[in-house]
Chain A
Amino acid sequence: MLRQWSVQASGEPEPEPAGEELWEQEMERLCSSQEPVRVLPYAMVDKRFIRLREPEGVKTSCWQQWRRRQQTAGRRLGEAGALYEIGLGPRLGASGPTCCSPQASSARNPSPTSPSFASCLLLNLLTLLLTTASSCCPLTWLRPPDRGPALNFSECLAHGGNSAPRAHLNPAFNNTYLFYGAYRAGPESSSIYSIRLAYLLSPLACLLLCFCGILRMVKGLPQKMFLGQDYRSPLSAKVFSSWDFCIQGQEAATIKKHEISNEFKVELEEGRHLLMVQHQTRAQRACHLLTYLRVNILIGLLVVGAISAIFWATKYSQDNKEVPVLFLLLQYLPPGVHRPGQLSGSLLFVFLVQLENYPPNTEVNLTLIWAVSYLLCFGRNKTSCESYGYNACDYQCWENSVGVELYKLSIFNFLLTVAFTFLVSLPRRLLVERFSGRFWAWLDREEFLLPKNVLDIVEGQTVTWMGLFYCPLLPLLNSIFVFLTFYIKKYTLLRNSRASPRPFRASSSIFFFQLVLILGLLLAAVPLGYVVSSIRSSWDCGLFTNYSAPWQVVPELVALRLPPPSQRILHYLGSHAFSFPLLILLSLVLTVCVSQSQASARAIRGLRKQLVWQVQEKWHLVDDLSRLISEPGSGDSLGPESPHSRGSRPRSFCPGFPCPGSPGPRAPRPEPSLEDPAGLCGVRVPVRSCRFPSGSEL
């Protein structure tokens, strides 16, 4: 029957008898197995033929069909749910969720910074909501009393203070909720809502909320850190499974190709770097260490120099307030010094880090660390009013001044971003496109430096966090700025920039961005804690005029409102007797976490060794098999599971391709293919002996 089919189909000469026999055996095996025909990798024609030869046929019953439909529906529901969870549900459009894998969807949204912008915006909005709900709205409801008596100027002169006018602050804004000074409340009592407590605790609660929010967003350390520097992820699986067949548009395909290419290049470059490091001689390593030290000392000096410059600039601007002409300029001198300092600093950091020949990811991450630590040192100075030599008499409401500075910094940063985009990048792009000459070709478009752009976000967010106590509505301003900055940066990225030639791994950089954001948050919380607990508020404005430090509201309220047992409990919680056991407990927890991670690392090393042993076992088996098979007379005992000879099959079966499990190409080998039955479904059995790869090579 098989012969008839083949003759009818294509009129070919009869196949060889041995191949025919093998094919018959294969057919019998297929017919006797209980697999449904659809799982066989043959063309429809062949599958129909096989089905007809089955005695009863494995026809799917209605019950099986129904089950299949339910499973399909369940799987599709699960996939759609997964897509909605990663936020892509509403954007899928006409193709529907079932067609797209998450890979295809992410290929349409390739920006690595868009999650950063989204998370920042969310944090700002949450902060704003909390502040408004706890302080502004109750304040508006409860209608606080009028301003208290102003500080007597004669007292002030008696203190020998400099009676410079407070002309830098526009009186119109002074009394709005934008600033600390506008918040007023009567003396504490036991029944009404304590605005002081709400105002005090809301920045702390916001910082805690942001901290938890960022922790939740952090997806975990990149795998590389656990698996060690010399671990390389299996590239072969990546090569074979990286293309997403769901991709339909040409642009999405181009983006995906870029993504794949970048990934390969990053992997290969890291591998090359690793090899280079491993082959360094001792002298080279010493040289490398010296360069490293030199570069880091240089960077440290740069940071110190920049901070002193800003300090000098601020002091100069404060000392020279009475010169009206330069007044406006001096107002913006501190941010004006800070910003170019940061800009040149970032570029210099990138250059210096490249000198050290770090692999690409480390470069990006190090640049982020250095620039943010520079920024934070600057920021810390701002909130400590003694460092500026603010005299309490000069500034009847110094908190407002600090708030003003922070608003100015925020606005200045945003204006600078806008100005840079439209006054530098855009003309640069237009000029480079219009003119062609060696200079313009050298200038080229602006390179999109990811660290610098991510830093802008972190900087703005840190300033907002520092200002939560002095300018409660700063998150609102920052939200608007973040929103607009996203679209401006997107415009710059798409129109005015060219891609950075240095590939980097976006996933670990995003993790690092989140880490740096947490660092910024913690370091913004430190001056806030210091101010709240130790600095005396100004006499004239704000909620804490009668307290030695804002934190003193809490003990007062505790004494006023809570029953004595609760007061005792709270006293105990705040005392040393509680903090020492708490510290000990936290140390224990930390020890447990550290030892757990070390144990995991050991387990991973053990598993890697096991993997090597398993591969060696495979080699043993292959070697044994080759010995067994090459012995004469043993070939018959191993029945082939699948036919292997191309010529033995009629043309209608899978034309152009050998059957599944066939051995490889017709390479010039001494033994003919018939004596080499692929008993193990396609494993080529080399007759020569094989040497096992050693553990270090894997």
Chain B
Amino acid sequence: MGGSGSRLSKELLVEYQDLTFLTKQEILLAHRRFCELLPQEHRSVEESLQARVSLEQILSLPELKANPFKERICRVFSTSPTRDSLSFEDFLDLLSVFSDTATPDIKSHYAFRIFDFDDDGTLNREDLSQLVNCLTGEGEDTRLSASEMKQLIDNVSNGAGLGWAGPGSRREGLGFGLKLSLSQILEESDIDRDGTINLSEFQHVISRSPDFASSFKIVL
């Protein structure tokens, strides 16, 4: 329980440095923070490597508390069958992906998984709605109205089934902002016009945004 007792062994540190993007100091700091979440009597090195911390405790970390995607982050990195707890190695994985030396590829891969709220492997309309709601918050004045959301996301009936129909009733039927809605998220990102965004399309979109890597970062 003392200072020397809770240090990781050298081999383990080297292994973690190989398997993650973290430096030695970051791994030790992560271990210390992880141990603080454990009950007092289980803070030895061996137990900390085997123990799992519940989601609520991880969500109480100040780095994650204000994040609207905190539950998704924890679920994505959790390796337990019920996906409601994180081990130390899951925690290291989390910090590795969010560190500033991680490659943009791995960041965009995990960003895709975090934004995929229903875990089906693609971002469909509901995922995008939930994403936008998380971004804009729950307040009455900040939430986008239904029509604005539709304008932002909606392309499904036109893009998914029939390809691009000519100008006609279908377009007018969906409302005033329809032509614009056709030019919003799904049009810009959905290359194969199936109404959903898959991983490679997502990575393609993200690659056009230069500040993604610097904002997709959590450092203890």
**Residues of B with C-beta under 8 A to A499:** 141
Does B168 make an interface contact (CB < 8 A)?
A: no
A697 in contact with B164 given A101-B214, A261-B137, A275-B176 (CB within 8 Å): yes
Q: From B179, which residue of chain A is reached at the shortest CB distance?
A: A275
A254-274 toward B: CB 8 Å interface, digit per residue (1/0)? Answer: 100110111011001001101
B27-43 toward A: CB 8 Å interface, digit per residue (1/0)? Answer: 00000000000000000
CA distance A698 to B183 in the complex (A): 7
Are the CB atoms of B144 and A232 closer together than 8 Å?
A: no
Are the CB atoms of B109 and A248 closer together than 8 Å?
A: no
Q: From A625, which residue of chain B is reached at the shortest CB distance?
A: B192
Does B125 make an interface contact (CB < 8 A)?
A: no
Are the CB atoms of A688 and B205 closer together than 8 Å?
A: no
Which one, B69, B137, B214, contacts A254 given CB within 8 A? B137
Are the CB atoms of B205 and A240 closer together than 8 Å?
A: yes
Are the CB atoms of A264 and B177 closer together than 8 Å?
A: no
CA distance A45 to B183 in the complex (A): 42
Does B92 make an interface contact (CB < 8 A)?
A: yes
Are the CB atoms of B148 and A655 closer together than 8 Å?
A: no
Are the CB atoms of B136 and A264 closer together than 8 Å?
A: yes
Are the CB atoms of A36 and B18 closer together than 8 Å?
A: yes
Return B186 CB to nearest CB of chain A, in Å: 8
**Residues of B with C-beta under 8 A to A506:** none
Q: From B216, which residue of chain A is reached at the shortest CB distance?
A: A245
Return B157 CB to nearest CB of chain A, in Å: 15
Return A693 CB to nearest CB of chain B, in Å: 6
Count how many chain B residues have C-beta atoms less than 8 Å from C-beta atoms of the other chain. Answer: 93
Are the CB atoms of A10 and B198 closer together than 8 Å?
A: no
Does B62 make an interface contact (CB < 8 A)?
A: yes
**Residues of B with C-beta under 8 A to A51:** 18-19
Q: From B66, which residue of chain A is reached at the shortest CB distance?
A: A253
**Residues of B with C-beta under 8 A to A666:** 120
CA distance A689 to B93 in the complex (A): 42
Does B146 make an interface contact (CB < 8 A)?
A: no
Does A360 make an interface contact (CB < 8 A)?
A: no
Return A380 CB to nearest CB of chain B, in Å: 42
Q: From B177, which residue of chain A is reached at the shortest CB distance?
A: A272
CA distance A99 to B217 in the complex (A): 8
Return A37 CB to nearest CB of chain B, in Å: 6
Does A686 make an interface contact (CB < 8 A)?
A: yes
**Residues of B with C-beta under 8 A to A683:** 191-192, 198, 200-201
CA distance A258 to B119 in the complex (A): 28
CA distance A75 to B193 in the complex (A): 39
Does A13 make an interface contact (CB < 8 A)?
A: no
Are the CB atoms of A250 and B65 closer together than 8 Å?
A: yes
Are the CB atoms of B136 and A65 closer together than 8 Å?
A: no
Does B89 make an interface contact (CB < 8 A)?
A: yes
Return B188 CB to nearest CB of chain A, in Å: 4
B76-113 toward A: CB 8 Å interface, digit per residue (1/0)? Answer: 11011101000001101100101011010110011101
Does B180 make an interface contact (CB < 8 A)?
A: yes
CA distance A271 to B196 in the complex (A): 23
Are the CB atoms of A38 and B21 closer together than 8 Å?
A: yes
Are the CB atoms of B212 and A240 closer together than 8 Å?
A: yes
Are the CB atoms of B192 and A245 closer together than 8 Å?
A: no
CA distance A262 to B144 in the complex (A): 9
Are the CB atoms of A72 and B101 closer together than 8 Å?
A: yes
Return A326 CB to nearest CB of chain B, in Å: 49
**Residues of B with C-beta under 8 A to A501:** 141
Tell me the A residues contacting B by CB distance below 8 Å: 10, 36-41, 43-45, 47-48, 51, 59-60, 65, 68-69, 71-72, 75-76, 79, 98-99, 101-104, 232, 234-250, 252-254, 257-258, 260-262, 264-265, 268, 271-272, 274-275, 499, 501, 615, 618-619, 622, 651-652, 655-658, 660-666, 680-686, 688-691, 693, 697-698
A-B contact pairs, 7 of them (CB 8 A): A39-B106, A237-B205, A254-B139, A257-B142, A262-B142, A275-B177, A682-B199
Known: A261-B137, A690-B192. 20 other contacts (CB 8 A): A37-B19, A38-B96, A43-B93, A48-B19, A51-B19, A69-B23, A98-B219, A239-B128, A240-B205, A241-B215, A243-B69, A245-B67, A247-B66, A248-B62, A258-B137, A261-B136, A261-B142, A652-B79, A657-B119, A664-B198
